[in-house]
Amino acid sequence: MESQTDASAEQPSFVSCYIYGILFPVYYLLSVRRNQQHPRIRFHCIQSLLLFTFLGASIYWCDKHSSILAGFVLSVLYVEWMVALVQSMRRKMFKLPFLGTIAEHLASNTQN
């Protein structure tokens, strides 16, 4: 009989994709061979990279051009990051609006 810790150790940790910013996703995608990557971790890594790319761009835009739209976009992306953290701690597969669809497409592309 497997213990609870053994079963959870086998499951991939999605929270690392969101808690470390772009560090873990870049490390995982570059260090693990494509055919050995766990599909769900690959999806979450790509979704996290997209999220932090847009978050960084929106922080930069908000700093240079103070506007209501930039503040709104920054707020939405921040809330998406919080949702991603909570859902990944619950080990649920989820797609963020808009970014999840792009990440799913990029994660499923195969090299021919």
pLDDT tens digits, one per residue of 46-97: 999 999 999 998 888 888 877 788 888 889 999 999 998 888 888 878 888 8
Pick from 73, 98, 100: nearest CA to 88: 100
What is the model's pTM? 0.79
pLDDT digits (tens, 9 = 90+) for 19-58: 888 898 999 989 989 888 888 888 999 999 999 999 998 8
Q: Which helix (H) or strand (E) holds 96?
A: none
Determine contact, residues 84/96, Cβ cutoff 8 Å. yes
Pick from 57, 47, 107, 108: nearest CA to 80: 47
Q: Measured in whole angstroms, how far is the alpha carbon of residue 104 from the centre of its chain?
A: 11
Tell me which DSSP letter residue 22 carries: T
- Residue 10 phi/psi, 5-degree rounding, is -75, -25
Determine contact, residues 40/12, Cβ cutoff 8 Å. yes
Amino acid letter, 63 = D
